[in-house]
Structure 1
Amino acid sequence: MGVGAAATTGVQAAYGHLLDPNRKWYNNRRLIALNAWIVLLLITSSTNGYDGSMMNGLQSLDQWKSYFKFPTGGKLGLLNAIQNIGALAAYPFAPYLSDGLGRRPTIFIGAVIMCIATAVQTASQSVGMFIGARFLIGFGLTFAANAAPMLVTEVAYPTHRAPLTSTYNSLWYSGAIIAAWTTFGTFKIHNTWAWRVPSALQALPSVLQVALIWFCPESPRFLISKGREAAALKTLAYYHANGNDEDPLVRYEFEEIKAAIEFDRTVTANVGWKSLFATPGNRKRMRIIIALAFFSQWSGNGLVSYYLNKVFDGIGITDPTIQLLINGILQIWNLAWALLASAFVDKIGRRVLFMTSAAGMIIFFTLQTACSAVFANTGSEGAAHAVIAFIFLFYAAYDLAFTPLIVLYTLEILPYQLRAKGFNVFNFAISLSLIFNQYVNPVALDAIKWKYYIVYCCWLCFELVFVYFFVIETKNRTLEETAALFDGDSATAQIAATAAQQAGVTHDVKDEKSSGSFHEQAPVLTK
């Protein structure tokens, strides 16, 4: 894949002129209802964020450390990593449930497992019981985390899709905030409820999903893939056009989804795992997806996300109250930056955000490393405070892209037939990177202290080079248009022509051979 972004000319070139200018999310009760259901899906990410921040907080609680006999080294790594080991066990099954049963049933199954697991975790009487419960949490979370973001991106109103899908991963920090401040609040409890209360609260998002998920709309793309076209059209019409199934936007969405799914079936007769790497377009997708998954965890953020207490110990901040307080403030800071970036994904663009994020991380992590070295050699209090400042600035840079965009970009570049399996590979790669981080980071920090940061400084430079050469721009496109970018002009033109013809509108393809931009080839639709 070459350098640079594909040309984009704005949402109006594709479907923008079909949108009712008076139909806003805040003045249309059905869009309000749709976005409310999407919030129910988004909180799946909060569960994951809660877990990481809770484990960070528990490591600062003497009540937790003493109850489990002060775990260190490999045992501490296992307590953190076991959730991701549980996720690995579920990955072979998650995409088959999402594609076979549907997005909603898969979320329900995952939420039920997590409710059971958090109950066991809260009641743990031994370290083995606690580890087993965390394994189940990871196992259940995999099902919900596979289906929920796909349902968000497949059911959202066209102009809301990118910001809402970006918000999914951004809400990781909402769970982290609740966990950080919960552990800070229970710090004063002088018994095991200091850690049992945070453990119990981890179930809250899953309880809400178990109770409400069946009222949420199912993915129109899933329904069409199963031959339930009438149900898909009804869902699109109800939420996107106040029930009018003849609305030109609804007709265009419906026919484009049908055309894209039919095209994928024709090209990929066998949609097994091999198909993810069977064509040049799919190999390009998987190269980007796997790289972004590892980048999201190997950018130095894993040090603070899971071992903040060790980072602080390394700069002389050992008071648990101060550690917990900084952790709580950091999560609020992260959420603010991630949500800000989510709001601008279609205005600024994915490529610009990725490159800005990578460059910013290099600068601030290098400065954090330098200040850590100064403290190690001089014990300077000013250097310690500078480390904290650069941690905050590093996360601001990280949150511009590697929080909001990784899920959005992965889902939108995958065609429907490969979306569940491809997204499962993305989550699998994240789990592998996390397991490595959670085992290696504490050992490396204990062994070589701040010098371990130099490894991440070098790796961040590689990330910037990769993003520059391989990430292309995808803003202001529908899911079908974006996915077709990787399959060549013939794919985009065929999907556009079929959708326009079936919708009964005028089709005008401009300069198909000379441009790689679907927007320059987009059908001109008239009612």
Structure 2
Amino acid sequence: MASTSGRQFNWFNLLMIIAMSFGSMSYGYSASIIATTLAQPTFLTYFELDTRSDARSLISTMNGLYQVGGFLGVFTVSYFADNWGRRAAIGVSAIITALSGALLAGSVNVAMFIFFRFTSGAGAFMLLSAVPIWMNEVCPPRNRGLLVDIHGASLLFGYMVSAWVGYGFFFYDSPSAWRAPLAFQCLPSLALIIFLPFMPESPRYLLLHDRLEEAATNLQRLHTPEEAEVELQQIAAQMQIDRTLPSSYWTMLKKPSYRKRTLLCLGVTCGIQFSGILVINNYGPTLYAALGYGTAQQLVLLGGWLTLAFGMGCASLLVVDRFSRPKLMGAGILGCMVCLIIEAALVAQYGGSTNKAALSAAVAMFYVYVIFYEVCMDGPQFAYLGELFPTHIRAKGMNIGVAGICLMNIIWLQAAPTAFQNIGWNLCFIIPGTIAGFGIYMYFPDTKGVPLEAVSAMFGDQDELYSGLGGEAKADVEMVENKADFATEYKETTV
């Protein structure tokens, strides 16, 4: 039975996605607030980072351990999501993020601050993984990219808010001015915790655990009646076979079709991180300082950059379901690389000079860069990751993808301060980023608009697909020799 044409979700679905996006905002704020904190004189003075000989190493550790916490924490998401439910995984993540924000704001020494940066990273990256798992599983095929991309737009809203909160408290005359922006990290997580009991559990999780009536009720609440009926049949049939399949991390490496998905997942997240986005975000004030701007100007430029990023994240909602996922992401990476090439040339020629036109052009390249990144990559990557994996390993697949983000960021953020001084940070990204962009654009499969239960055909899981789609869809598969073509046919017949 094919998916219905036209709009497949109802407005309750959209409302629940927006409510869940408080978790996305929490990640964005938590990940970004360190940028303005490191530019806050009261923070540097309190921890003596303006006088200590090891200040550079401590700053690198504050950034690096946040990513280490994320890398380790994210692997717990699949345990909570698969055993207790998708909402439980989100709730645990939100609690950790809220508590860490409170204790960061109350830190009394640098060791305490670094430790709770570690736990804050764990909670935030757990949210980054858990929220899009739920979103992918409650969104219908036709509108999935748009609705899941709200995750990307919301985390950018968190970035933007952190920049302007940090800027505002820069002018607050108090030795504790740095604490309040860190404490604000708790607010979106607490809002999410309050809303969570009212949000429906993922129908796919419920059917995987043989809770048919609850799943049917939730699908009726989330989707139009016609689409809910179609999806209930597709999902219920597929879950009958999914619950019998192995779902360990070892299986994801051992089974060829799962291994291919895992490599594609890492290829996307690691490839996108080669663009250098988090280095520009976290060390934005440092980069602007190198171009000769004062502290207040640095914070304004960072705030403007993140405001533009949020606007472009919203613009991405309009294009994500109109283009092939790999082509959109690959073109975005290549656009970012063009910006970095121009940036590298401007910095090499005019860095440290008083040429205002050249310095303005260098800042402009950062702004053009973020347009490519946010429209093409930030939100779409989470829709793509959720689409790659079947339900019984989707949480683990998302964990691996987000862990790839953490791993790349550990490398870049630890190396960035030294790279700024010695080799020029732009050069670290341009060559591998260009290779990644072309690779994703040319060779990665497109999952846009394909029902999650039909994606298996693209990876040769013929038996699993037969078991899940039923007689009519099975006949369609048998008519297509190349299983990758089935996904394309499926999309075309439902447009």
Distance in 2 (CA, whole Å) between partners of 1:304 and 1:397 is 14
Distance in 1 (CA, whole Å) between partners of 2:364 and 2:489 is 48
Find the counterpart in structure 2 of residue 468 from structure 1. Answer: 441
Deviates most, 274-283 or 55-64 = 274-283
Structure 1 position 132 matched with structure 2 position 120:
no
Give the partner amino acid of 1:165. Answer: V
- Alignment match of 2:173 (pick from 169, 182, 190): 190
Cα offsets for 1:36-79 (capped at 9, x unmatched): 22112222222222123211111211111111112632100111
Structure 1 position 344 matched with structure 2 position 328:
no
Find the counterpart in structure 1 of residue 198 from structure 2. Answer: 215
Normalising by structure 2, what TM-score? 0.92
Structure 1 position 146 matched with structure 2 position 129:
yes
Q: Which structure 2 segments of 5+ residues have no match?
A: none
Give the partner amino acid of 1:15. Answer: S
- Alignment match of 1:376 (pick from 326, 333, 351): 351
Does the 8 A contact of 1:493 with 1:512 survive in 2? no
Deviation (angstroms), 1:351: 2.7
Give the partner amino acid of 2:232. Answer: F
Cα offsets for 1:271-301 (capped at 9, x unmatched): 1111112222212211111122222322122
SS at match of 1:190: coil
Structure 1 position 424 matched with structure 2 position 407:
no
Distance in 2 (CA, whole Å) between partners of 1:360 and 1:173 is 19
Distance in 2 (CA, whole Å) between partners of 1:369 and 1:316 is 16
Distance in 2 (CA, whole Å) between partners of 1:336 and 1:105 is 31
- Alignment match of 2:189 (pick from 206, 209, 213): 206
- Alignment match of 1:37 (pick from 11, 16, 22): 16
Structure 1 position 367 matched with structure 2 position 342:
yes
Deviation (angstroms), 1:440: 0.4
1:302-321 to structure 2, matched below 5 A, reads 302-317=278-293, 319-321=294-296
Structure 1 position 264 matched with structure 2 position 220:
no
Deviates most, 477-486 or 192-201 = 477-486
Deviates most, 463-472 or 514-523 = 514-523
Give the partner amino acid of 1:259. Answer: A
Distance in 2 (CA, whole Å) between partners of 1:524 and 1:352 is 18
Distance in 2 (CA, whole Å) between partners of 1:376 and 1:473 is 41
Deviation (angstroms), 1:485: 1.7
Alpha carbons of structure 1 residues 64 and 332: separation in structure 2 relative to 1, 3 Å: same
Structure 1 position 437 matched with structure 2 position 412:
yes
Alpha carbons of structure 1 residues 523 and 177: separation in structure 2 relative to 1, 3 Å: closer
Aligned residues: 490
Does the 8 A contact of 2:335 with 2:372 survive in 1? yes
Deviation (angstroms), 1:250: 2.1
Alpha carbons of structure 1 residues 523 and 189: separation in structure 2 relative to 1, 3 Å: closer
RMSD value, Cα: 2.5
Q: Which structure 1 segments of 5+ residues have no match?
A: 1-12, 26-30, 242-246, 502-506
SS at match of 1:125: coil
Find the counterpart in structure 2 of residue 28 from structure 1. Answer: none
Structure 1 position 227 matched with structure 2 position 203:
no
1:227-246 to structure 2, matched below 5 A, reads 227-241=210-224
Distance in 1 (CA, whole Å) between partners of 2:106 and 2:57 is 24
SS at match of 1:91: helix
Deviation (angstroms), 1:520: 6.1
Give the partner amino acid of 1:458. Answer: I
Cα offsets for 1:392-425 (capped at 9, x unmatched): 1111112232211111111101111110111111
Distance in 1 (CA, whole Å) between partners of 2:413 and 2:302 is 18
Alpha carbons of structure 1 residues 102 and 68: separation in structure 2 relative to 1, 3 Å: same
Distance in 2 (CA, whole Å) between partners of 1:385 and 1:262 is 59
Distance in 2 (CA, whole Å) between partners of 1:114 and 1:236 is 30
Structure 1 position 296 matched with structure 2 position 272:
yes
SS at match of 2:201: coil
Alpha carbons of structure 1 residues 136 and 345: separation in structure 2 relative to 1, 3 Å: same
Does the 8 A contact of 2:458 with 2:487 survive in 1? no
SS at match of 1:440: helix
Structure 1 position 481 matched with structure 2 position 454:
yes
Distance in 2 (CA, whole Å) between partners of 1:173 and 1:459 is 25
Find the counterpart in structure 1 of residue 76 from structure 2. Answer: 93
Give the partner amino acid of 1:206. Answer: S
Deviation (angstroms), 1:84: 1.9
Percent identity, aligned pairs only, is 23
Deviates most, 141-150 or 165-174 = 141-150
Does the 8 A contact of 2:96 with 2:120 survive in 1? yes
SS at match of 2:143: helix
- Alignment match of 1:403 (pick from 373, 378, 402): 378
Alpha carbons of structure 1 residues 484 and 417: separation in structure 2 relative to 1, 3 Å: farther
Normalising by structure 1, what TM-score? 0.87
- Alignment match of 1:286 (pick from 232, 244, 262): 262
Does the 8 A contact of 1:346 with 1:476 survive in 2? yes
Deviation (angstroms), 1:256: 1.1
Find the counterpart in structure 2 of residue 49 from structure 1. Answer: 28
Does the 8 A contact of 1:364 with 1:394 survive in 2? yes
Distance in 2 (CA, whole Å) between partners of 1:91 and 1:355 is 26
Structure 1 position 107 matched with structure 2 position 90:
yes
Deviation (angstroms), 1:331: 0.7
Deviates most, 354-363 or 203-212 = 354-363
Alpha carbons of structure 1 residues 341 and 256: separation in structure 2 relative to 1, 3 Å: same
Deviation (angstroms), 1:310: 1.9
Give the partner amino acid of 2:337. Answer: I
Give the partner amino acid of 2:431. Answer: C
Give the partner amino acid of 2:300. Answer: L
Distance in 2 (CA, whole Å) between partners of 1:89 and 1:279 is 24
Does the 8 A contact of 1:285 with 1:414 survive in 2? yes
Alpha carbons of structure 1 residues 520 and 105: separation in structure 2 relative to 1, 3 Å: closer
Find the counterpart in structure 2 of residue 251 from structure 1. Answer: 229
